[in-house]
Structure 1
């Protein structure tokens, strides 16, 4: 009888310890999410309405990057960067069926040049470049338009150019390390 009571006491202690650990971990996660939310809302480098981040341009570093592209003339790189800036301002990245082929056609260039410029000048692959622009736009619009916070994830995903709510959520989490649902709820609490 005493063995049974000792075994049940052990299980109860294990259960209480596990539950305490789970609660502690959830508290830790919520605290981390809150810090990340604050970093999004009050960034060191502000997110502009066009979806890009404001960066101080270092002309010497840019010149070095351009010189590294020996096979691609500097004029071509500069033209493509100007066209990409216009593409960003026009929010062409919000089109759901966007592809590097479509963008290259719109910018009157080929996919090889476009890919090279995005990889070297933007520091990312085409898909990551587009997703980052979309996520930045989502953050800006969710802050600016409180009505958007009432919509479902599939609607928001569609609104910001993603094919599914999962793709939107994954891209959002990849960039900011929090889920968009947490971001929206935290925005609502802020207001």
Structure 2
């Protein structure tokens, strides 16, 4: 589960809890026996071949256990559709657990260069070409959007003279972001 870069842990937790509740609904997904979702910490690495995502406030990682007789490919397909429709604000990529150094049937392309705008154009063109390949799913990039940061220096003496405490200034800045 990945929200937009800059999303708070709280926003990610909200989506993760809603997704977990949906996955636990036996009427919707009778073949799911249990699920767990880890927010921000990347989840446990309980087996060496597992490579959870790097920790970030806008990321969560889930594990779903299926009934023994479940058709895993069909469940993944249903999850992809249901979660994609329900959580349009997040990128959710259900996939089967893989025990290799990389996920099965995955191609990785690395674009490098100093010009971010050019890299974004090249990435968009590559994604469009890959989407046209029959059977392609989850064509995406991991180049995160720019996060605007603002450095604010407060002149404490002037702020206090104007009647603004440090706490009031901090609350105002927190509200503005």
TM-score by length of 1: 0.26
Higher helix share: 1
TM-score by length of 2: 0.28
- Greater RCO structure (CA 8 Å; 6+ sep): 1
